[in-house]
Structure 1
Amino acid sequence: MTIKKYRIRKPKIVVVGGGTGLPVILKSLRNQSADITAVVTVADDGGSSGAIRDSMNLTPPGDLRNVLVALSDMPQLYEDIFQYRFNEEDNYFANHAIGNLIIAAVSEMRGSTYEAIQLLSRMMHVDGHVYPSSEKPLTLHAVFKDGTEAVGESNIATDRKTIDRVFVKNTNDEEQPKAARKVVKAIEEADMIVLGPGSMFTSILPNLVINEVGEAIKNTKAEVVYICNIMTQKGETEHFSDADHVRVLNDHLDSKFVNTVLVNTENVPEGYMNPEIYDEYLVQVEHDFQGLREEGCRVISTDFLKLRDGGVFHDGDKVVDELFRIVFGAKY
């Protein structure tokens, strides 16, 4: 059992991203008495989320579902039910997570995924705020170094081309993508902005390239911390060093806005990863400390590694301990 820490003043920490990396950090943050806001990508178009998005014209629920669970104190049985995924043989319901269907149903009932997430946050006793980065579903576009383009998050890594840049468009209209309500305000009032961990081009950047979100992060007085990925990712960050990750972030916003980067220095044991389960991850990210210095950011390098179930993850507690050392050193 984890004992929650309490502080007189809770630092305001905004965590931006999606995928499987974000919940790891949020679970540990929940035990550290922080005022947490999660800003979650809505550009996912694969699997259960993609099917619901296409059939109901909703923002994809999968990443939002995982974030709600990470910040909730509901009993384990309720969590297991919310996260249960139907078997492949179950015809129409195949591979759908029950939580995705609940979010879709409440979204239809309330006429808004944003409103659905706020209602479910209260029902699930979520400790913090959960906001989709946009209130409309977004389509992710990638422009490759050879000038070709891929449309849709699930298609970007298919050809394993080198990505030059990504951008988002509203899926169902021609309007400029806008930040969801309260997202910009949360960023402006934050003591710290945390990016990742997560897929660079498909989990983190889809949030930042929404103009209002990117501008708010560039202009914030908060400490902007990037949690660098431990492994390179097939079709996204092949052959990337840690400095390459930061360079891509800075280039997309045309500003050296990343203040601090957390870098794991612990080696992953050779042959540890199970390629049948984690087939998108390739090799460990190489270090380029000179390149990081050229990007103008402070580097904190130590053991952030957690090995579990044949996979490589960040140790949420170690990462969050470091985040609190930074935020209290910078603000208090």
Structure 2
Amino acid sequence: MAYGENRIIRVIKGRRPRVVVIGGGTGLPVILNALKDQNAEITAIVTVSDDGGSSGSIRNFINVVPPGDIRNVLVSLSDLSKEGKDIFQYRFDSSDSFFSGHAIGNLIIAALNEMHGNIFEAVQILSKMMHVDGHVFPASNEPLTLNAEFVDGTTQAGETEITALDKQIKRVWVTDTDSDDEPKAVLPVLAAIMQADAVVLGPGSLFTSILPNLMISNLGQAVRETKAEVIYICNIMTQQGETDHFSDADHVRVINEHLGGHYINTALVNGAKIDMSEFHPEDYDAYLEPVRNDFAGLREQECRVITDDFIDQRHGLVFHDGKKVGKEIINLAFEAMSRRRMDED
């Protein structure tokens, strides 16, 4: 069921719909896999401000953009055999003081970055080696540090430290980890956004996976200026230390506030009830409750809303249903292609 204007779906021949997905975290590969099955021309723009886990440890030893999200995105778009993907994803479980807990793919990305001098070129080379169907672009060529101001006026730097405080976040921004230079995205990132039919934000942690990308000044400006349909995939569950008690409208509002206007064109929100009897909170480190619907609040954000049963709940875990979400994105991309062609005629 869709709230808002009727959608007209046209099949447009000549090229695949161009879809740019911006974000990070575990939700991103689910959407990328679905879009790959829909035969979209995909560009994934991946967060580079993570400082936890294997990525954070490697970042402490080697001056490199955190590789974890990049690794998962490469695998999701790769046409390698299952065995090849499993090797790339393998995480050491030995007691070795350095290798324990590290994924092989993270080490390969760090090595290529060192060999070629920048993470963007390293990822493009690895994309060819892994037969990636699409493009994988780090949001920045340099490691970035996430900064937050809380509602109480205090500030904190570092993703792990920000979420550990479990305080309500007012706003976030990013800084270059190693210099005073203003963080910038490289030209291929900007070109992909400007040429896209659909730009997708999420799903993923609002303040630590989505907004860090948009706070890179020229990347955020490209999202504001693109003629693509800007789509937000709202999270299914709230996240402790980030979005406690948030509604779907709260998520959209925060993104629009950081962008400085009403730039979300369409929000995809779950309208199905989650079976909490099958939900096991101990399986999650940071999830609290289902994100509640606030359609009046969404109307205030001036975005079209598409609501459906977007959940895939299995064995007490809750995910987005990639197939359903992917189909909605492709439909919206085709609409944007139609509008662009009519504008050009």
Partner of 2:104: 98
- State the distance in 2 between where 1:7 and 1:94 align: 50
2:290 to 260, 284, 291: 284
Runs of 5+ unmatched residues, structure 1: 1-5
Partner of 2:171: 165
Q: 1:150 to 1:272 in 2, by over 3 A?
A: farther
For residues 122-158 of structure 1, give each alpha carbon's deviation from its aligned partner in whole angstroms, at most 9, with x where no partner exists: 0101000100000000000010000111210111111
For residues 225-275 of structure 1, give each alpha carbon's deviation from its aligned partner in whole angstroms, at most 9, with x where no partner exists: 000000000000001000000000000011100000000111111132332
SS state of the match for residue 271, structure 1? helix
2:147 to 118, 130, 141: 141
- State the distance in 1 between where 2:114 and 2:336 align: 43
How far has the Cα of 1:31 moved from its partner?
1.3
Point out the more displaced range, 273-282 or 117-126.
Answer: 273-282
Partner of 2:324: 318
SS state of the match for residue 22, structure 1? helix
SS state of the match for residue 98, structure 2? helix
- 1:237 and 2:235 aligned: no
- 1:82 and 2:88 aligned: yes
SS state of the match for residue 42, structure 1? coil
For residues 148-189 of structure 1, give each alpha carbon's deviation from its aligned partner in whole angstroms, at most 9, with x where no partner exists: 112101111112111000000000000000113311111111
Q: Give the AA of the match of 2:285.
A: D
- 1:49 and 2:55 aligned: yes
Q: Greater relative contact order: 1 or 2 (C-alpha under 8 angstroms, separation 6 or more)? A: 2
Matches for 1:1-332 after TM superposition, within 5 Å:
8-87=14-93, 89-332=95-338
- State the distance in 2 between where 1:209 and 1:112 align: 21
Q: Percent identity?
A: 58
**Alpha carbon RMSD of aligned pairs, Å?**
1.3
- State the distance in 2 between where 1:198 and 1:114 align: 22
Q: Give the AA of the match of 2:303.
A: C
**TM-score of the two chains, using structure 2 as the length reference:** 0.92
- State the distance in 2 between where 1:174 and 1:63 align: 25
- Conservation of the 8 A alpha-carbon contact between 2:231 and 2:268: yes
- State the distance in 2 between where 1:188 and 1:325 align: 19
**TM-score of the two chains, using structure 1 as the length reference:** 0.96
- Conservation of the 8 A alpha-carbon contact between 1:7 and 1:33: no
For residues 30-80 of structure 1, give each alpha carbon's deviation from its aligned partner in whole angstroms, at most 9, with x where no partner exists: 111111110000000011101111211100000000000010011111111
Point out the more displaced range, 47-56 or 130-139.
Answer: 47-56
Q: How many residues are matched?
A: 327
- State the distance in 2 between where 1:149 and 1:263 align: 31
- Conservation of the 8 A alpha-carbon contact between 1:228 and 1:263: yes
- Conservation of the 8 A alpha-carbon contact between 1:36 and 1:128: yes
- State the distance in 2 between where 1:274 and 1:108 align: 42
- State the distance in 1 between where 2:315 and 2:72 align: 19
- State the distance in 2 between where 1:45 and 1:64 align: 13
- Conservation of the 8 A alpha-carbon contact between 1:40 and 1:63: yes
- Conservation of the 8 A alpha-carbon contact between 2:151 and 2:169: yes
- Conservation of the 8 A alpha-carbon contact between 2:197 and 2:334: no
SS state of the match for residue 182, structure 1? helix
Q: Give the AA of the match of 1:30.
A: K
How far has the Cα of 1:7 moved from its partner?
6.2
Partner of 1:3: none
